[in-house]
Amino acid sequence: MKTISLINKLGKEHKSFFFMFDFNMEYPIVIEEYEFSDYLFYFNTTIKKRIPKQQSSVKPLFFNKTPVPFSIYEKSFNLIQNHLKKGNSYLVNLTFPASVETNCSLFDIFCAADSKYKLLWKDEFCVFSPETFVQIKNRKIFSYPMKGTIDAAIPDAEKIILSDIKEMEEHNTIVDLIRNDLSYHTRNVHVSKFRYIDTIKTNSKTLLQVSSEITGDLQENYREHLGTILFSMLPAGSISGAPKKKTVEIIQEAEIYDRGYYTGICGYFDGTDLDSFVMIRFIEKNRNKLIYKSGGGITLKSNAEDEYREMIDKIYLPV
């Protein structure tokens, strides 16, 4: 409640600030602009660009990943399937940590990453996310849920991902969830673009990901309620599932670790407009080891082997 009140106050006063919320919303961070000169982030919009004064010259020479064994993944997958069969959820986002090895530091990765959004938080973690959470411009709010991933090298990959029934149902579920989230504080909510393709280039392959655009109109005094609006939409639907409350309980039962800031949200308000992203594609330092967190949505029609491969495909560097 203190964080909501602070953001509402800063929004009303048209003051610039950075914000970051973890998945469980236990450790929210709000930093006014005059305080964050030591933090590095990049928003690929007209709102804000803050990049290092010096660029790293190190190029990734190797990037090795060691995901959890399939047997561990399958156990959690089956637990989720049991909940889905009972009707406790329609869609659950299942994630796992993987060990990675590279010759790059987090700073090197931040500098080299070619991504719509990226964040380097101290020397603790680096995020290079392709997924917008919400944008606010000219009294309109936009959300871009991203659901559906396929290797672009597969013949007719775009046709396959767009015609896949399981992927379509998963995407529809999230679009409906986000529409509902926006409707609490927004008028004229509608899907302005439905299931279009984003291309993501990685260190090992090119991926296609499916997104939609949902938009609505805000009240004239929306800045006075920025914190209320943001928190009403958390956690982000694309990395939790539907219905949210019960699905988050299932996630906590199925996953073997604490997500922390992974799959939380991060954003920047410039005094007038706001941009934010979902903290996916996430590398964290843990006792001098690097941990990469990734996952995907599970429905009744999901296949464990396919979902396991998709989770591994999402472990990459966007260089």
State the DSSP string of the chain: -HHHHHHHHHHHTT--EEEEE-TTSSS-EEEEGGG-TT-EEEESSSS-EE--SS--------EEEEPPPHHHHHHHHHHHHHHHHTTS-SEEEEEEEEEEEES--HHHHHHH---SEEEEETTTEEEEE--EEEEEETTEEEE--EEEEEETTSTTHHHHHHH-HHHHHHHHHHHHHHHHHHHTT-EEEEEEEEEEEEEEE-SS-EEEEEEEEEEEEPPTTGGGGHHHHHHHTPSPGGGSEESHHHHHHHHHHH-SS--TTTT-EEEEE-SS-EEEEE--SEEEEETTEEEEEEEEEE-TT--HHHHHHHHHHT-----
Flag whether 243 is in a domain. no
What's the domain range around 219?
A: 2-57+99-238+260-293
Flag whether 26 is in a domain. yes
Flag whether 28 is in a domain. yes
* pLDDT tens profile 127-176: 999 999 999 999 999 999 888 888 899 999 999 999 988 888 888 989 99
Residue 228 has pLDDT above 80, yes or no: yes
Flag whether 163 is in a domain. yes
Report the number of distinct structural domains present in the chain: 1
Flag whether 164 is in a domain. yes
* pLDDT tens profile 45-104: 544 455 555 566 666 668 999 999 999 999 999 999 999 999 999 999 999 999 999 998
* Confidence (pLDDT) at 319: 78
Flag whether 310 is in a domain. no
Flag whether 9 is in a domain. yes
Flag whether 66 is in a domain. no
